């Protein structure tokens, strides 16, 4: 039996997971609440919180999996992309543990791991498939030919869609993290109440900077005549913004499916937890005759289970790393 311990520390979640022969045995996540009062992730505070959490999180993951350190055949970690200080904590811990146990070290690309989260439990996509990977820092359409053979065929040219959600929340004076709150209010509002422009980009690429600006100007204009406009219309504003962002995402995804002829369609990343996006993708999937794959909520946001799954595939191929390896905050796909 091949048992791998995986560590995720790219941003503000400290996570550890254990996988044996491709079967997940544990997945522990410690979320950092310290950032809420600052309205966003503070890198230095994130690094310190990772240092505090990593040992108890790893111990709990091993305990839940009912394995000891001597049972481990490899140690995996997120090399990038992410915050340098946060990545350093996970990488240093993984390197030291692998060296001490004399087992291989496996580096994992965070965004590729989001795609491979679909293999944690069945049903799994059939290769080749398209994956819309959406998070606070990334918006990508990925052509997945095999577990370790992926290509970005479309991506944002400026802001990520997660940023658009978070910036909208900030403009509406919603607390951090604002994306889930926009989703919550949107469920009670009219998505056609306020029309916002759709950004047009060539090919399969996205742009979300324009809609952020249009939302800002829209709110400034409305609040001149009615200072209570946001409070009185928050559900409709959230629903309209969410409707526009989802429309932009799915238009490009449909275009990618038509261009490639692929009907196996998946979503991944933190924004894939958005209820509006999940519902709209299922609806489009029925119309387009796609087979749609949506991960469980706990595998959408950052977690070590997806790192473990990616490491499982790399272990099979014998793709191991040297002890001289360093984190890469802007790691290329």
Long-range contact pairs involving 285-292 (C-beta distance under 8 Å, separation at least 24): 288/254, 288/257, 288/263, 289/263, 290/257, 290/263, 290/264, 290/265, 291/125, 291/126, 291/263, 291/264, 291/265, 292/265, 292/266
Instruction: Tell me whether residue 289 is annotated as binding.
Output: no
Instruction: Tell me whether residue 68 is annotated as binding.
Output: no
Instruction: Tell me whether residue 3 is annotated as binding.
Output: no
**Cα four-point dihedral sign 109, 111, 117, 118:** negative
Instruction: Tell me whether residue 135 is annotated as binding.
Output: yes
Instruction: Tell me whether residue 139 is annotated as binding.
Output: no
Instruction: Tell me whether residue 2 is annotated as binding.
Output: no
Helix axes 275-288, 179-186, angle to 10 degrees: 60
Instruction: Tell me whether residue 64 is annotated as binding.
Output: no
Nearest to 166 by CA among 52, 12, 325: 12
> Taking the CB of residue 183, how many other CB atoms lie within 10 A of it?
21
Instruction: Tell me whether residue 312 is annotated as binding.
Output: no
Tokens of 51: 């240092």
What does the alpha-carbon distance between residue 314 and residue 321 come to, in Å, rounded to a whole number?
A: 10
Q: Quick one: how far is CA 142 from the chain centroid?
A: 13
Tokens of 37: 């009062």
- Region of 142 (left: φ > 0; alpha: ψ -120 to 50; beta: rest) is beta
What does the alpha-carbon distance between residue 282 and residue 276 come to, in Å, rounded to a whole number?
A: 10
| Backbone phi, psi, residue 251, to 5° | -60, -45
Instruction: Tell me whether residue 126 is annotated as binding.
Output: no
Instruction: Tell me whether residue 114 is annotated as binding.
Output: yes
Instruction: Tell me whether residue 183 is annotated as binding.
Output: yes
Instruction: Tell me whether residue 110 is annotated as binding.
Output: yes
Please give the annotated binding residues for Fe cation, written as ranges.
Answer: 110, 114, 302
Task: Please state the residue numbers annotated as binding site.
Answer: 110, 114, 133-137, 166, 179, 183, 274, 302
| Residues of each annotated binding site for substrate | 133-137, 166, 179, 183, 274
């Amino acid at each position: 039996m091949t048992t791998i311990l995986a560590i995720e520390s790219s941003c503000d979640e400290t996570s550890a997971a254990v996988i044996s022969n491709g079967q997940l045995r544990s997945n522990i996540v410690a979320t950092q609440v310290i950032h809420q009062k600052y309205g966003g992730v503070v890198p230095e505070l994130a690094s310190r919180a990772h240092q505090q959490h990593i040992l108890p999180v790893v111990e709990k993951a091993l305990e839940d999996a009912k394995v000891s350190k001597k049972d481990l055949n490899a140690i995996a970690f997120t090399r990038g992309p992410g915050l340098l200080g946060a990545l350093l904590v996970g990488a240093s811990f993984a390197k030291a543990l692998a060296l001490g146990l004399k087992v291989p070290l496996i580096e994992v690309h965070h965004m590729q791991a989001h795609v491979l989260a679909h293999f944690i439990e069945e049903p799994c996509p059939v290769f080749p498939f398209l994956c819309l990977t959406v998070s606070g820092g990334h918006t990508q359409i990925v052509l997945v030919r095999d577990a370790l053979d992926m290509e970005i065929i479309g991506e944002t040219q400026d802001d990520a869609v997660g940023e658009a959600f978070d910036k909208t929340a900030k403009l509406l004076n919603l607390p951090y993290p604002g994306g889930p709150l926009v989703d919550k209010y949107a469920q009670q509002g009219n998505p056609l109440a306020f029309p916002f422009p759709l950004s047009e980009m060539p090919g399969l690429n996205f742009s979300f900077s324009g809609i952020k600006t249009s939302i800002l100007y829209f709110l400034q204009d409305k609040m001149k005549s009615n200072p209570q406009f946001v409070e009185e219309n928050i559900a409709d504003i959230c629903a309209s913004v969410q409707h526009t962002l989802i429309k932009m995402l799915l238009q490009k995804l449909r275009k990618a499916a038509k261009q490639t002829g692929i009907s196996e369609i998946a979503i991944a990343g933190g924004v894939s937890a958005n209820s509006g996006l999940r519902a709209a993708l299922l609806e489009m999937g029925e119309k387009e005759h796609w087979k749609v794959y949506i991960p469980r909520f706990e595998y959408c946001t950052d977690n070590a289970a997806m790192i473990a799954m990616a490491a499982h595939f790399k272990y099979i191929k014998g793709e191991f790393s040297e002890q001289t390896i360093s984190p890469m905050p802007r790691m290329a796909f």
